[in-house]
């Protein structure tokens, strides 16, 4: 781009001098002057003709240089912003998988007292026990408040609340740290949420949904009102009112 401007300047300078020579040497048939003053006049002519052109080209080159610098700065800022976003995603990813592992450990120790020979059931068996009891209440035409009361009675150690809260915090971290305000879109959030659902034990996820359906905890309300979470649950075909 710069060489083109230089070429234009050279052509204009040659045309300026050439027109002078053509007019006086060929049209007027005059030879070379011997008087230095005449050559001084010629110099004034060339300077007066070429200098404005060169000044204009210099201005164009300056503007072009500033434009290129601004473009380079814009690309640099964009690259820095992308790097910052990538670092944020890495940080969220590290925290995300740590929280999933924490949830698994919490669920593995989840237990319900059955009063039978073994007295306690754990993890998946405990969730199945709760589901069977809820199904019995539903078959007896009991309303939601009755089911809620049953779950509160069973959850004397607040284990259901703890598992629900742990899941809710994971969803909250994803949605807040990858929010639109931070330059992310719903696509990246929903990708993380889909991974969360797929990496969560199926029985644990059913327990979370049960708590969402029958409790009025702030965690339940947050999950039921989170558009990204609801969209992903709908995509994977998981009902939020299965009981």
pLDDT, tens digit, 9 for 90 and up, residues 87-121: 999 999 999 999 999 999 999 999 988 766 667 88
In three-state secondary structure terms, 123 is helix
Q: What is the DSSP string of 39-89?
A: HHHHHHHHHHHHHHHHHHHHHHHHHHHHHHHHHHHHHHHHHHHHHHHHHHH
Over residues 77-92, the mean pLDDT reads 86
Distance, CA of 160 to CA of 212 (rounded, Å) = 11
Question: Tokens 């009063």 — which residue?
Answer: 115
Q: Angle 213-150-196 (CA atoms, 0-180°, nearest 5)?
A: 35
State yes or no: pLDDT of 39 exceeds 70: no
End-to-end CA distance of the chain: 71
Distance, CA of 50 to CA of 185 (rounded, Å) = 56
Classify the C-alpha dihedral 77-82-85-91 as positive or negative. negative
More confident residue, 214 or 73: 214
Overall pTM > 0.75? no
């Amino acid at each position: 781009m710069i060489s083109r401007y230089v070429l234009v300047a050279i052509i204009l300078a040659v045309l300026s001098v050439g027109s002078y020579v053509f007019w006086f040497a060929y049209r007027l048939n005059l030879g070379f002057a011997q008087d230095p003053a005449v050559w001084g006049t010629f110099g004034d002519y060339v300077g007066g003709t070429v200098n404005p052109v060169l000044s204009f080209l210099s201005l164009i080159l300056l503007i072009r240089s500033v434009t290129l610098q601004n473009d380079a700065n814009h690309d640099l800022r964009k690259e820095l912003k992308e790097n910052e976003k990538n670092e944020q995603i890495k940080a969220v990813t590290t925290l995300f998988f740590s929280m999933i592992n924490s949830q698994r450990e919490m669920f593995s120790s989840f237990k319900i007292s059955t009063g039978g020979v073994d007295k306690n059931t754990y993890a998946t068996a405990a969730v199945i026990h709760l589901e069977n009891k809820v199904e019995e209440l539903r078959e007896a035409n009991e309303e939601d408040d009755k089911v809620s009361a049953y779950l509160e009675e069973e959850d004397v150690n607040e284990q259901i609340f703890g598992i629900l809260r742990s899941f809710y915090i994971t969803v909250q971290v994803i949605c807040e740290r990858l929010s639109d305000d931070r330059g992310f879109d719903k696509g990246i959030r929903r990708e993380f949420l889909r991974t969360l659902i797929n990496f969560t034990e199926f029985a644990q996820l059913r327990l979370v949904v049960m708590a969402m359906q029958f409790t009025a905890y702030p965690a339940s309300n947050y999950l039921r009102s989170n558009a990204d979470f609801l969209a992903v649950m709908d995509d994977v075909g998981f009902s939020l009112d299965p009981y």
